[in-house]
Amino acid sequence: MIIYPAIDIIDGKCVRLSQGKFDQISVYGDNLVEIAFKWKEAGSKWLHMVDLDGARGKKNSNPEKIKEVALATGLLIEVGGGIRDMHSLENVLNNGVSRAIIGTAAVKNPEFLKEAVKEFEDKIAVGIDAKDGMVAIDGWESKSSLQTLEFAKRIEDMGVRTIIYTDISRDGMMMGPNLKAMEIMKEAVSMEVIASGGVSSITDIQELNKIGMPGVIVGKALYNGAINLKEAFELMK
């Protein structure tokens, strides 16, 4: 199982939200390259980065910060937030990023998703953010009318190979992942499912590994010291 340390960005700073609420922000620094190197030195090959300003439709300098991290560290990086057309998608993938995560646009503009998958194949992932069993959009601030499993099967038929599945109610809350929901999603589709939301201990990572999740994103637990990433990698060996 791949562990993906997370760097969520607002105004060029590394932050964590609680349940995706923008009025509940913890800031962990503004030197993103330094933070990324910390996770690389702990043994990470991948990094999960989200432009939270972009997710809310705001123009900002975060893409340049992400490019700087990619070029400086050489890490494999997946990036989400504000990728809603081919122009923004190409900009992300031309900046040293290995995989682009399409979220809101996958719901609102399925033709764009089809075009993206046709053009870039496994460099495309879709973020499925669950709120009361429904797909959340617009930086988690709105709920769509799509059920998560229904949507997952729909995008699988389009050729999507990877999804990042987040339980918003658990995200940033340090209460453990929704193991049942993650397992149901993994069993329902043949896509690679990366679990996100609520991971608060190495035990949580081990439990996700037991149910066969191929990947897990870890955020707040790294920044508050609840998980030692180097120890987590050693255990997973």
Cα angle at 181 between 42 and 6, to 5 degrees? 25
- What string of H, E and C letters represents the secondary structure of 31-57? CHHHHHHHHHHCCCCEEEEEEHHHHCC
Cα gap 41→27, rounded to integer Å: 22
Cα gap 197→217, rounded to integer Å: 7
Burial annotation 51-74 (CB, 10 A radius, 16+ → b, else e): bbbbbbeeebebbebbbebbeebe
Q: Which amino acid is at 28?
A: Y
CB atoms within 10 A of CB 81: 28
Instruction: Look up 129 and say whether it is catalytic.
Output: yes
* Inter-residue contact 131 to 151 (CB < 8 Å): no
Of the residues 8, 51, 167, 204, which is catalytic? Answer: 8
Cα gap 237→209, rounded to integer Å: 12
Of the residues 51, 53, 129, 171, which is catalytic? Answer: 129
Residue 201, both tokens: 């201990």
Residue 23, both tokens: 């009025």
Instruction: Look up 171 and say whether it is catalytic.
Output: no
Active-site residue set? 8, 129
